[in-house]
Structure 1
Amino acid sequence: MCLALLFACCPAFAQKKKSKKGMPDVPKLVIGIVVDQMRYDYLYRYWDKYSNNGFKRLIGEGFNFRNNHYNYVPTYTAPGHASIYTGTTPSVHGIVGNDWYNRSIGRNVYCAEDTSVKTVGSTSKAGEMSPANLLATTITDELKLATNQRSKVIGLSLKDRGAILPAGHVANAAYWFDGSNGNMISSTYYMQELPAWVQAFNNRRLADQYLSQQWNTLLPIVQYTESTQDDQPFEGTFSGEAKPVFPHNIPAYRGKTFDLLRSIPAGNTYTKEFAIEAIKAENLGKGAVTDFLAISFSTPDYIGHQYGPDAIEVEDNYLRLDQEMADLLKFIDGYLGKENVLIFLTADHGGAHNPTYLQQLRIPAGTINNSVITDSLKKHLNQRFGKAEWVIKSTNQQVYLNHGVIESKKANLVEVQEECARFLQRFPGVYRTMTTDALLRTHWEKGMGMFMEKGYMSLRSGDVLVALQPGWYDNYGRAEVKGTSHGSSWSYDTHVPLLWYGWQIPAGESSVRTEIVDIAPSLATWLRIQEPNGTTGRSLAEHVQK
C-alpha cells in the first residue's frame, strides 16, 4: 500500500506518462532540414511574397530562435553540417574544411573521401565516400545507439557531404546526386546495391525532365523589388550564356552531364521528391522507435555563389523553396501528423554581399588573391631564413609550413610562424593573423580568438590562420568577382535561421543568443538520449516550453 502510494505521488518513482493532450513522450520521426547558404535575413526579406504554408507556417506555428550563430571559422558546408549534428566545433569533430591539407600523405583530402569503399548506383567514383573523417558521434549515431540499432537513420542531399556527415557513422543509408548519370547514389559503406525504391526513383528520370525546362521567374519580374535589377555586372552566368538574365535557357546550357540541376531551383524539387519517397518507402516514423531523416537542400548554395544574395535569381529560388517546404509539410500532415514529427530548419552558413556591389554603394569591401599573397610570403621567407620550400600549402585562410624543411634548416618553428603572421598582417583586407602556437597557449571565450580556436585542430589545421576584414574575401585569382562567397566569422556568414516545428513545439520566438552547436543537445533532451560524445553546446529545451 505504501509503495503504491509512493509511486503515485512521487514523480521520481512514477512511470513515464504521455504528455498533455495525449502526445507521445518522443516524436515518431525527426526531420532535420539544412538549407545550404541560407542567411537569416532571407526569412524576412522575402516575407511578403512567401505563401502561408511554407516558411511562414514554420515560423507561425513553430519556435524561432532569431539570434542563432556559428561560433567558429571557417564557415563552410562540411564543417557546418558536421557541427549541426555533432553539437560541437571543428576543433573536436575534425571537419576543419570542405577539404584540408594532410601532412602525412602530402596532399589535400576531401572531407568525405574514402577509397576503401566503392560507388553504388553508378560507374563513377562519386560514391567513394563515407563519414570516416568525422571524429565525433552525431545525434543520429546516438539515436541508433540508444535504440539498439532499431531506429532508421537516412541522410540525403545533392551534395555528398550534405548527406553523409548528418547521417553519421551508423546510418542505414546516405544518398547523394551523381551528375554523371543524373541518379541518386550511395557507397558500399552503407549497402551493396541500391534499394528497389531508389532504383525506381532513378528510373523516373526527373533530372532529365527538370533540365529540359527554362528557368523563368515564378512571379512577374517587376515584382522582385527586394532584389537588384536583372543583369548586374557582379552576377555570374551559365557556361555559354551571354548575360545573367531571365529566362535562363537551361536546355541550351546543360551540356553532357546532369550537374546543372544543382544550380537551378528544380534541384530543390528533386531533393524534396526524393525525401518524400524515402519517408514512404522506408516507413519512417511508423515503427516502435523514433526514426531520423536528415535533408540538406544544396541548390541555394550553388545559386548564391553564382549570383550573390542581392540577385533576382536568389529571391526566385527562395520563393520556390517556400513552395517545396509547403509541399513537405502538407505531406507530413497526411502521413504522420504534425504532432508526431519534430522538424528543425537551419543553415550550414550564410553568405556575403558581393564586394563590387558594396563598393558601388560606397561601403568598404574588397577581395584578396590568396595565390599572390602566398607567393609574396614565400619570397619573404626566403629572404628572411634562406632559400627553401618554407610554405607547403595555403588553403582555408591558413598557411601550412613545411615542418621537415624547418627541422632540417634547424630553424625555430614558432619564430617562422610569427614571421609569417607579421608579414601577412600587412596586406589590405587582413583583419588579424594568429599562429597556432598562440592558439595552443591561450584560451578565448569570445571574439576572433574564439572563432579561430574553435575551428582549429592541430592534426588537420595550418600553422598560421588569417581573418579578413568585414566585406572581404578571396577572389581565387579571378579578375572579376561574381556572386558571393563565405567562410568568415562576420554576421553575414554566421547568422542563420533556427526554427523548431511540430511535436510538442509551441508557437513562439526568442532573441536569446544561441549557437549552432546547441541543436544536437536539444534533440538529445527531447529524444531522451545521450548527447553526441563531443558535444560542447547546450540544450535549448528550457526556452521552448508551452
Structure 2
Amino acid sequence: MKKAVSFIIFLFFLPNLNLLYSQEKPKLVVGIVVDQMRYDYLYRFSEKYGENGFKRLLNDGFHAENTHYNYIPTYTAVGHSSIYTGTTPQNHGIIGNNWYDKFLKKNIYCVDDANYTTVGSNSNAGNKSPYRLQTTTITDQLRLAQNLHSKTISVAIKDRSAILPGGHTANAAYWFEGGKDGKWITSNFYRDTLPNWVLAFNNLKKADAYLKEEWNTYAPIETYTESIDDNNPYEGVFRGEKTPTFPHNIPVLKEKNGHTNLIKSIPAGNSLTTDFSLAAIQGENLGQTKNQTDFLAISYSSTDYVGHRYGVDSKEIEDTYIRMDLEIERLLNYLDKHIGKNNYTLFLTADHAVAQTPNYLNSLKIPGGYFDLAEFKNFVQTLSKEKYNSENIVENISNFQLFFNKETLKKLNLDQTAVEDFFAEELLFFENVNKTITSHTLNTSEFSNGIYSLVQQGHNQKLSGNVYIIPNHSVIGSGHKKTGTTHGSGYSYDTHVPLLFFGKGIKKGTSKKYYPIIDIAPTLANLLQIEFPNGTTGKVIEEALN
C-alpha cells in the first residue's frame, strides 16, 4: 500500500520536474575577475567601503577565505585561463602572458592569431583568438549544454582578459583599444561587424569624458590611513609628473601618456568597464532568454595597472579599491533591477595577487630585492662556455626558465638530463636564486605540496623550458626600476586571492578551508548541472552551494 501511494505521489510531481529544474537555474552568471587583487584588500580598506559593494558579497554570499593559485607563474593570462578551465597550465597550455615558443623559436603572445583581423578598428589590435587555450572553459560548457542557444559575452580592457574567459564559443569578447580614438573592439574570430549597441557606446566617447577630470582622492587624503605617505621613493610616476602625488592632472598628462590609453592606468578605467558591461547586458538582452542561462565575464584591469606603478602600500591603490567598491555596488544594483535579485549567480576573484615593493620592505629591514636578468644571462653564458665551450647551449631565458637548444646538444653529443642537472646546481650560486628544478625531474616525479608542486602544476611538458629558477621571497625582476611592483611567484603574497560566490544557488557562509583557484569552474558546473570543462582537475566547493 505504501509503495502504491509513493508511486502515485511520484506521478503527480513528474510533469513538474522540468519546470522545477528550470526555475533553479540562474538566468545569468556573472564572473568578475579583479586584476591583481590581494585577499587582504577586502579587509585592509573595509572601513572605507560602503555596505552594498564588497560588504554585500561578504555578508550575503559565500566567502572562501583561503583561496590560492596552485601553480607558478601567477600572471594575468594564466590566471584567467585557470579560473575558467578549472585546471592549471600543465593542462590548459597558457603558460604565461608571453612565452618562448621552442618550435617557432620566437617569443609569442598568448592570444595573438594572424588568422583573424580586427573588427571595429583599422589596427592589428584585434588579430586575436583563444586558439592557444587547449581545453574548454565553463563558458564553453554552458553554451554546449544549451545547444548554443544561450549567450556568452566577455569584457575587459585587456585583450587576454576578455578572450580567455570567453573560451572558444563566446558570442563575442570585447576589449579596449586606446590611442586617440579610444574604443571597444573585437576580432572576426567572433563576428564580422560590431553590433549596433557597441557602435553606439563607442560614439559616446566615454573615455574622453573621464579623462577631462583630474584624479584626486575620493575622500579627504588625510583619511587614507591604511597607506603610506603620498610622496615617497617607492612609487612610479606618469610621464610629465615629477612626484607620485595627488592630484594627478589627467587632462594635462593625457597627451604624453598615450591619449585614451591613460584611462587604463587610473580608476576611471574600471568605471568605463562597468559602463560597457551594463551596455552589454542591455544590448545583448542577457538573462532574458526563457529557460536559458547566459554568461557575462567581466575583468577589471585598471587595478593591475595602478598596482604595478604605485605598489601595495600607496594611497593610489587605496583610492582605487575604494572606487572599485563603488563599481561592484553599481553592477549589483543594475543586476538587481534588470535581471532580478534571485535570478543571477555571481562570483568575484582575482587573476593573481601581488608583492609589496622590495625597496619599501628593505626600508623596514625586511628581506627583498631585485633579480638582475641581464647579469643572470651573462652568468649563464659564462657557465656554458666554461663547461661546454659553447655559447649556444641556452637558446632563451624568459619567465624564469632556461630553454635549451636541442640542435646544439645533439651536435655536442650532450645528454639533456645531465646538462639540466648541471645548470640547476650551478644557478643556485647566483644572487637571489632560492631553488631550481629541471624539466626531467618534473616529468618523472610527483610533488603533492610545497613550492615544487606549484612549479609542476605550471609546467607544460610540451611547451615549457628545461630549467626553472625560483627567486627568493619578495624578489622581483629588475625591470621595475625599483619603484612599483609585480607578481608571478608561488609565494602567498602572489597566490592568495579573494573568492566570493553570491546569488542564486549560493549558500551564505564563510570557509577557512584551502581551496585552489581551479575549484571555481567545477563548482559553477555543478550548480548549473552541466559537464565540467574537459581538462578540469579542480573539485566542487560543496560548502558554497545550496
TM-score range, shorter chain: over 0.9
Matched, 1:56 2:55: yes
Give CA-to-partner distance per residue, 1:405-432, whole Å, 9 cap, x none: 1111111111111111112111232111
Amino acid in structure 2 at the alignment position of 1:421: A
Separation in structure 2 between the aligned mates of residue 54 and residue 318 of structure 1, nearest angstrom? 11
Once the two structures are overlaid, the 10-residue window that deviates more, 498-507 or 110-119, is 498-507
Separation in structure 2 between the aligned mates of residue 260 and residue 50 of structure 1, nearest angstrom? 26
Matches within 5 A, 1:79-118: 79-118=78-117
Separation in structure 1 between the aligned mates of residue 489 and residue 4 of structure 2, nearest angstrom? 60
Amino acid in structure 2 at the alignment position of 1:446: N
Deviation at 1:4, TM superposition (A): 8.2
Separation in structure 1 between the aligned mates of residue 524 and residue 425 of structure 2, nearest angstrom? 44
Separation in structure 1 between the aligned mates of residue 169 and residue 500 of structure 2, nearest angstrom? 26
Query: Which position in structure 1 is the counterpart of 2:193?
Result: 193
Give CA-to-partner distance per residue, 1:10-36, whole Å, 9 cap, x none: 9998863677xx992111100000000
Residue aligned with 2:453, SS: helix
Residue aligned with 2:39, SS: coil
Q: In 2 relative to 1, CA 375–277 (structure 1 residues): closer, same or farther, beyond 3 Å?
A: same
Matched, 1:260 2:259: no
Give CA-to-partner distance per residue, 1:170-206, whole Å, 9 cap, x none: 1100000101330000001001110000000000001
Matches within 5 A, 1:1-40: 5-6=6-7, 8-9=9-10, 16=17, 24-40=23-39
Q: In 2 relative to 1, CA 380–4 (structure 1 residues): closer, same or farther, beyond 3 Å?
A: same
The count of corresponding residues between Structure 1 and Structure 2 is 541
Amino acid in structure 2 at the alignment position of 1:260: L
Query: Which position in structure 2 is the counterpart of 1:357?
Result: 360
Contact 1:391 1:399 in 2 (8 A): yes
Matched, 1:407 2:406: no
Give CA-to-partner distance per residue, 1:367-399, whole Å, 9 cap, x none: 111221022111111110012311111111111
Unaligned runs of 5+ in 2: none
Contact 2:176 2:184 in 1 (8 A): yes
Query: Which position in structure 2 is the counterpart of 1:305?
Result: 308
Separation in structure 2 between the aligned mates of residue 168 and residue 544 of structure 1, nearest angstrom? 24
| Identity %, equivalent residues | 45
Query: Which position in structure 1 is the counterpart of 2:507?
Result: 506
Separation in structure 2 between the aligned mates of residue 17 and residue 4 of structure 1, nearest angstrom? 22
TM-score for both structures, normalised by structure 1? 0.96
Once the two structures are overlaid, the 10-residue window that deviates more, 422-431 or 233-242, is 422-431
Separation in structure 2 between the aligned mates of residue 14 and residue 455 of structure 1, nearest angstrom? 48
Deviation at 1:5, TM superposition (A): 3.9
Separation in structure 2 between the aligned mates of residue 65 and residue 291 of structure 1, nearest angstrom? 24
Separation in structure 1 between the aligned mates of residue 250 and residue 170 of structure 2, nearest angstrom? 35
Deviation at 1:212, TM superposition (A): 1.6
Matches within 5 A, 1:101-250: 101-180=100-179, 181-250=181-250
Residue aligned with 1:399, SS: strand
Q: In 2 relative to 1, CA 385–150 (structure 1 residues): closer, same or farther, beyond 3 Å?
A: same
Deviation at 1:267, TM superposition (A): 0.1
Matched, 1:459 2:467: no
Contact 2:63 2:510 in 1 (8 A): yes
Unaligned runs of 5+ in 1: none
Separation in structure 2 between the aligned mates of residue 90 and residue 7 of structure 1, nearest angstrom? 52
Q: In 2 relative to 1, CA 121–372 (structure 1 residues): closer, same or farther, beyond 3 Å?
A: same
Matches within 5 A, 1:268-279: 268-279=270-281
Query: Which position in structure 2 is the counterpart of 1:526?
Result: 527
Query: Which position in structure 1 is the counterpart of 2:321?
Result: 318
Separation in structure 2 between the aligned mates of residue 160 and residue 6 of structure 1, nearest angstrom? 55
RMSD (Å) for aligned C-alpha atoms? 1.8
Matched, 1:287 2:286: no
Separation in structure 1 between the aligned mates of residue 8 and residue 455 of structure 2, nearest angstrom? 51
Separation in structure 1 between the aligned mates of residue 412 and residue 8 of structure 2, nearest angstrom? 74
Separation in structure 2 between the aligned mates of residue 488 and residue 18 of structure 1, nearest angstrom? 48
Separation in structure 1 between the aligned mates of residue 374 and residue 295 of structure 2, nearest angstrom? 43
Query: Which position in structure 2 is the counterpart of 1:379?
Result: 382
TM-score for both structures, normalised by structure 2? 0.96
Once the two structures are overlaid, the 10-residue window that deviates more, 426-435 or 158-167, is 426-435
Query: Which position in structure 1 is the counterpart of 2:67?
Result: 68
Amino acid in structure 1 at the alignment position of 2:221: I
Matched, 1:388 2:401: no
Residue aligned with 1:325, SS: helix
Contact 1:7 1:13 in 2 (8 A): no
